[in-house]
Amino acid sequence: MVGELFYNPPQAERNRTNFTKTFFMSRSSKLFIGILSFLPIILLLVLLFMVFSMFPTFFQWEKYDPAPQEIISAVAPIFFVGFGMSVLSIGLLIFFIMHLLRHKALDSTERIIWILVFLFAGIIGYPIYWYMRVWKDEI
């Protein structure tokens, strides 16, 4: 009787099924997540382009000492793009790990493999997971 007060197996089973049923994604939300999963790669390419386009400016700065405002105004866009990319990447990492943990069709081995892919492959793993487990799955 005391055990039923703290743990009720039928209620726990109902809570578990409600938890998995609440994670339904419509086609438009899957597309939105897909766009977001490709965005860090695009932002990385933009960031690299911005850094490489700054090389002539760096070579000009060798000839004279630039003012601090000039340095900040040249480097600030690179900082903001990098900061946005890192915030988006961390947000996607959290979202995809939550999606992975809620996805009951996956066994624990595949979940561990996907987490390792997220940690070691970084932003390359997000579009792969999105295509294989979000876009193609009929939840």
- Whether 21 shows a pLDDT value over 70: the answer reads no
- Global pTM reads 0.75
Asked if the model's pLDDT at residue 14 lies above 70, the reply is: no
Confidence (pLDDT) at 26: 86
Q: CA dihedral in degrees (73, 77, 78, 81; nearest 10)?
A: 160
8 Å CB contact between 135 and 34: yes
Q: How much of the chain exceeds pLDDT 90, in percent?
A: 56
Q: Is the pLDDT of residue 45 over 90?
A: yes
Going from the C-alpha of 97 to that of each of 11, 56, 87, 101, 121, the distances in angstroms are 26, 42, 15, 6, 14
> Cα(68)–Cα(77) distance, rounded to whole angstroms?
15
Q: What is the pLDDT of residue 5?
A: 47
Q: What is the mean pLDDT of residues 87-106?
A: 91
pLDDT in tens, 102-120: 888 888 899 999 999 999 9
Buried b (16+ CB within 10 A) or exposed e, 85-103: beebbeebbeebbebbeeb
